[in-house]
Amino acid sequence: MIQLFDSLKTAVVNGLYGRMAHVSPDAAFEALDWKSVNEKPGGATHSIWEILHHLIYWQNYCLYLLDGGSPTSPEHAAESWICPEKPVNEKHWLDTIARFMSGLSSAEEASLIDLEGTILAKPQESRIEVLESLIGHNSYHLGQIVMLRQLLGAWPPPSGGNTW
């Protein structure tokens, strides 16, 4: 049983950081020109900047649940897409990425605590279910960022990345 628990923790951490079949957050944001992150190439619905803020919104929501909080779910999906119009400079862009990455570290720490335990605000859900939801959500949207980077001619990043 201990080995299974360790395997689950490893799977959570791998998912959070884009190991195995997921896109690495590091690669998704690496060497991206902050001036281009507000573009919507090819008629895209959202920009990289908007997606990053959406990721932070839901990551914070999940972390609050994991910390025992009872966040209010947005009435409409649009409420989770609110963000500043664009980054004001490179520092603003990098600070926003750092905020997202810090949340990943917090989620990793949360994976070390009773994965089978339930969520106070949602007793029908376990901690592992919230973490799995976060991983799936992040993976989906990081994949969108890769697609937008491809459309912007900014993929793969300098360190490399899947191009298929």
HSE (side-chain half, CA atoms, 13 Å) at 59: 23
**CATH top-level class of 2-151:** mainly alpha
Domains of the chain by residue range: 2-151
Quick: pLDDT tens for 100-128. Answer: 999 999 999 999 888 889 999 999 999 99
**pTM of the model as a whole:** 0.94
Query: What pLDDT sits at residue 160?
Result: 85
